[in-house]
Structure 1
Amino acid sequence: MKIKQLISRIMLLGAGSLILAACNDFLDELPDNRTELDTPDKINRLLVSAYPSRSFTRMCEIASDNCDDMGANNPNTSLLLEHNSYWMDMNEAENDSNKNTWQAYYSAIAAANTALEAIEKQGTPKEVLPAKAEALLCRAYSHFCLTMLYCLPYHPEKSGEYLGVPYMEAPETTLNPVYHRDNLKEVYEKIDRDIEEALPLVSDANYAVPKYHFNRSAAYAFATRFNLYYLKWEKVVEYASEVLGSAPSTVMRDWAAVKQLAWDGSVRTLDYISVGHSFNLLMIPMVTGNGSLFNAWSNSGARFTHNYRVAKRETYRAKRPMGGPWDRWKDNCIEKVYQHPPFIWQDNDVNKIYMPKWPNQWEVTDPVTGVGIGRSTMVAFTTNETVLSRAEAYVHLKEYDKAVADLNAWIGSFYLVGQNGIESLTRERIAEVYGDPSSDRYIAEYTALLKFATHNDYLHFFSFPGDNGAGYQGWKGDYEFTFMSLSPAFDEIILRGIKTGNRIRMTPLSGQYTPESYLETIRSSQLAITETEFKVMANGEQIGTLTRPNATLTTNFRQYAASKVWSFRYSYRQQAFDDYGRPKVDEHGKPVYETVEANDPVSVIYLPDGIMQFYAPYTFRGELFGLPNQTVQTFKWQLGPTSASDCYVCTDSFLDIKLVP
């Protein structure tokens, strides 16, 4: 028995020694199981994660006027797309959601900061300088993209007042940290600092496939774009010239060559992102559904899309300064204009027009069910964009001949210059297109514009996109207007809507009002009248009614619109007609009359001093008290001896016409 106890104790001691040894081995391990970044190769491999896996592209494109709303009955949609299109809060958990995009940019920034910290710990040896440049550029790029999504545009005098985004300059090491949101001026200064520090250090020799990293051309293309937003025109020219060389037209995208490929969306989108093309400067693989959304061979997202209406008004079928046929569907105008025509799909639920730019690189994660992840590759920088940036900078620097030369380099890549009336641009031609109404080249839509460039809920709802239940034409409003005429006395300006041709008449504001006080007066005038039905009285006798579906509500756009459209109902006599359309007469040859019910919609506007006015004068049908062609337009709210006798009184009629609650 003692021998057995001794053996048991020896075994326990041995086991304890093994456990303690194992514990010591475990405690000798670093608690963080991430790779220790102690070699240039490990740092370079980490920097693959310093490029964002999401993009601003979808949010910006769907929210812009590049996309139209095909109608609420279109089944090819999602809640995320609807919220995106109408500038609503996007809380849906999809790959391209607002939350995932924000997180993707900051995850990329975290990887860049981790690499920069490791480089600094190594003493920044010469062999890691290209990696440092890449990390700085990646950090700057993601912060810049965030400012485009979540900040106002840069303004030299006001950016210190604008909110920026948190600029992360070190890896996060604390739990639940509190971030400081810099102002936009500070953010731009830090982006500029990172870019300027990185540019001299960039080296293409550091990469096996440079086009998937911030190679030298991509770095200078990014510097070009950033400085365009930063309004540093000289730097735009300097950095773009590093990318474009002395002959920009020779490094533009070769759309004519793409046209020779198989007419297959997959083939041409993969060619678009090819690393073999000199005009592609940086490609970024992404987790995104853009490959099925932004094409014309998938019905995905077809409710909110670039369609024929947008193409006709703004893009492929619109008039263009360089000439050529436009909006001629049956004449194949697109084939006669472009080096590579867009893909087009039109049927009942799908109306898409897109160039092949986003491949659908679906990754199957379950071969049995076909479940997978939507992936695609974004061409983040191209020579074509860079030359347009330099052209814009040249315009600001008033170097117009150089600007025209850059525009022609881009035009030659995309258009069939020299064919079907398409010509290169000249300064003289541009002047005619934009400023000479007597010229055949003049395009009124391109002349001076009144444009509401910042978001306004009312304008967005009533102009574009929109759906009033009658298809994708929306409410037929506008937010871009062409100046058509100015009266000799400078007291009237006439404008025309770019999209729908709506006419606006502008007159000077009375000196007693500021714009703010005038709008508040109008608002009060609308809200003061809560009635939805009035009796129409003429010379003390009720002749009809004026009704609307609801009172004015400023919190619901559809009800707001409905409150401004009234129904005018009354009876009148008119001569009857027989089945052949001939006026009826009795046996004495006198006209035979019949009573007809009028039910006419009339839209109203509200003015100060309790005035309600029809948009256009309304002429009664038939006769009123034996008087034909009686017209009304303007009504003023008049207070009676008691509140029960308050009513609208017509101020422009021969008869005593009132609208009585």
Structure 2
Amino acid sequence: MKRNLVYISALAIMTVAPGCKKYLEQLPDQRTEVNSPAKVAELLTSAYPRANYIPFLEAMSDNANDKGTDNNTRINRQPWFWEVSSDRSQDTPDYYWQQAYAAIAAANQALEVIDKATDKAAYKASRGEALLCRAYAHFMLVTIFSQSYDPATAAKAPGIPYVTKPEKIVVEKYERKTVAYVYEQIEKDLTEGLPLIDDNSYTGTLSYHFTTSAAHAFATRFYLFKKNYAKVVEHANLTLPAGKILPYLRPVNTTYNAMEELVLRKEYTRATQKANLLLAETQSLWARNVITNRYGCDPALGSMINGLDNPSRTRMAYKVYYQKPEDYFVPKFYELFIRVDQNANIGDPWDMIPLLTAEEVLFNRAEANTQLGNFNEALADINDFLSQRNNLYNPTQNLSIDKVKGYYGTVDTRAAILETLLYYKRIEFMLEGLRWFDILRHKIPVVHTSFDGKTKMILGANDPRRMVQIPQEAQLSGLELNPR
């Protein structure tokens, strides 16, 4: 019988193991035979990137200010200055690259086993999950390391390698091809894989897998970047039963409001929380460092979260804490420390992070409807969101077209609603890194000012530093670096 063996992507190896000969000497002992539907399903638990993108994407955005003191680490500092990362440890772009391609390698190995199986029907659901995992990881890579999708430039802009087969050698040669090509491949995997997903095929907790809901949620993000707004609405309406998102939103102004800080930290990423459509375990120090990072949520940003200066003129009900006068935060993350030595305080920190949520689907649908001219539908979603966020909510706080135009001082309805939803979305995903995606899509300039006010840095709409630099070791696979 032919043995099916698990290989780690060469693109992943390049960033963590320059000593390839040593790696190959160890590889046979680390191989696992995969020869049944159950083992393929188990393999696919490794097809989700176990790396945290939040630390560097949040630092790059306008959701991070210079506090002047605190934990001035290179991992936090370099992305805030939009510098090329010189670190390859957890919570860095290089680490995310490595882990994303490792996840892709697992998905490809699963697909190879499925393609060679005689009873392909037994693997149908796993094939769907593998294709969704491959699409998701490549989407995150092209979004972070390439130019943001633009129909006018996508056919020329360098993408990232779209890997569709297991690698048998360490130094494989790759092409970046184009952003357009990568998007075509993502869409191909997405549209082929989504109908194959079967929620009943999963054992254990659904939130750790691409369920039908999570797959549609991912589709809303993908098509929002692609500017196919009708598809965003279509998939958003299919994400949750009857297209009703409100019952799945986090109850921030009720249940959450009564919780203590530590309870909130655990609740936010709990698998039983209905808002969490897809969760991932990541090796990360984010939960430990998010409060004390020098570049992060300061009093100005903390005050903005629950301030009155917003389109509804009503305070939000987020529980905002501060540890020191300069350290503000919303409790969202809880570290799980896994000991590797029971006799010593040695181990690995792990954070659970929400990859896809009901809130993001709501905002994606609202933005798509706004772009399509369906303004009332967009405002209905925003008002559903506010009903779970405004302090002491009552329907008189609901937004109307006149209210948002009046607040932003414009006669342009589309622009006013877009500004409104981007404002609330920025606050909702504070400390989660998703603000960076809106900055990319809308070409929003980012201004970072030093604590003493003497230095102001601007990341313009077309600044090449918006593309995170790919790991320099990836040049060994023939990849060109991003311009600087």
Q: Same fold, TM exceeding 0.5?
A: yes
The number of residues matched between the two structures is 406
CA drift of 1:417 comes to 5.7
CA drift of 1:32 comes to 7.4
Q: Please, which of 294, 307, 313 is the counterpart of residue 323 of structure 1? A: 313
Structure 1 residues 472-528: Cα deviation after superposition (integer angstroms, max 9, x where no partner): x45367789xxxxxxxxxxxxxxxxxxxxxxxxxxxxxxxxxxxxxxxxxxxxxxxx
Q: Please, which of 469, 472, 475 is the counterpart of residue 455 of structure 2? A: 475
Higher strand share: 1
Structure 1 residues 59, 260: closer, same or farther in 2, change over 3 A? closer
CA drift of 1:315 comes to 3.7
CA drift of 1:33 comes to 6.3
- Distance in 1 between the 2:101 and 2:88 partners? 17
Would you say the 8 A contact 1:308–1:353 is kept in 2? yes
Q: Please, which of 324, 327, 342 is the counterpart of residue 346 of structure 1? A: 324
1:183 aligns with 2:178: yes
- Distance in 1 between the 2:455 and 2:306 partners? 24
TM-score by length of structure 2 reads: 0.78
Would you say the 8 A contact 1:258–1:271 is kept in 2? no
Alignment RMSD = 2.7
1:464 aligns with 2:453: no
- Match of residue 433 from structure 1: 407
CA drift of 1:144 comes to 0.6
Question: Equivalent residue of 1:374, what SS?
Answer: strand
Structure 1 residues 342, 95: closer, same or farther in 2, change over 3 A? same
CA drift of 1:31 comes to 6.5
Would you say the 8 A contact 2:339–2:345 is kept in 1? yes
How is 1:222-371 mapped onto 2 (pairs within 5 angstroms)?
222-244=218-240, 245-259=242-256, 261-265=258-262, 267-295=263-291, 299=292, 301=293, 303-312=294-303, 314-317=304-307, 319-324=309-314, 337-347=315-325, 351-371=326-346
CA drift of 1:94 comes to 2.3
Would you say the 8 A contact 1:255–1:413 is kept in 2? yes
CA drift of 1:261 comes to 4.9
CA drift of 1:75 comes to 4.3
Question: Equivalent residue of 1:361, what SS?
Answer: strand
CA drift of 1:363 comes to 1.8
Give the stretch that moved more between structures: 337-346 or 97-106. Answer: 337-346
Question: Equivalent residue of 2:138, what SS?
Answer: helix
Question: Equivalent residue of 2:448, what SS?
Answer: coil
Would you say the 8 A contact 1:56–1:145 is kept in 2? no
CA drift of 1:368 comes to 4.1
Structure 1 residues 82-137: Cα deviation after superposition (integer angstroms, max 9, x where no partner): 11210111112321122211100000000000000000000462121110010001
- Match of residue 527 from structure 1: none
Higher helix share: 2
- Distance in 2 between the 1:315 and 1:474 partners? 26
Would you say the 8 A contact 2:269–2:353 is kept in 1? yes
CA drift of 1:257 comes to 4.2
- Match of residue 105 from structure 2: 110
How is 1:528-543 mapped onto 2 (pairs within 5 angstroms)?
none
Q: Which runs of 5+ in 2 are unaligned?
A: 1-26, 421-438, 461-484
The amino acid across from 1:464 in the alignment is H
Give the stretch that moved more between structures: 256-265 or 193-202. Answer: 256-265
Would you say the 8 A contact 1:53–1:104 is kept in 2? yes
| Larger gyration radius, structure 1 or structure 2 | 1
TM-score by length of structure 1 reads: 0.58
1:409 aligns with 2:384: yes
Structure 1 residues 318, 257: closer, same or farther in 2, change over 3 A? closer
Question: Equivalent residue of 1:276, what SS?
Answer: coil
The amino acid across from 2:312 in the alignment is M
- Distance in 2 between the 1:246 and 1:124 partners? 35
- Distance in 2 between the 1:236 and 1:179 partners? 32
- Distance in 1 between the 2:164 and 2:457 partners? 46
The amino acid across from 2:324 in the alignment is Q
Q: Which runs of 5+ in 1 are unaligned?
A: 1-29, 325-336, 447-452, 481-661
Question: Equivalent residue of 2:279, what SS?
Answer: strand
CA drift of 1:169 comes to 0.3
Give the stretch that moved more between structures: 382-391 or 79-88. Answer: 79-88
Would you say the 8 A contact 1:258–1:340 is kept in 2? no
| Greater relative contact order (Cα < 8 A, sep 6+) | 2
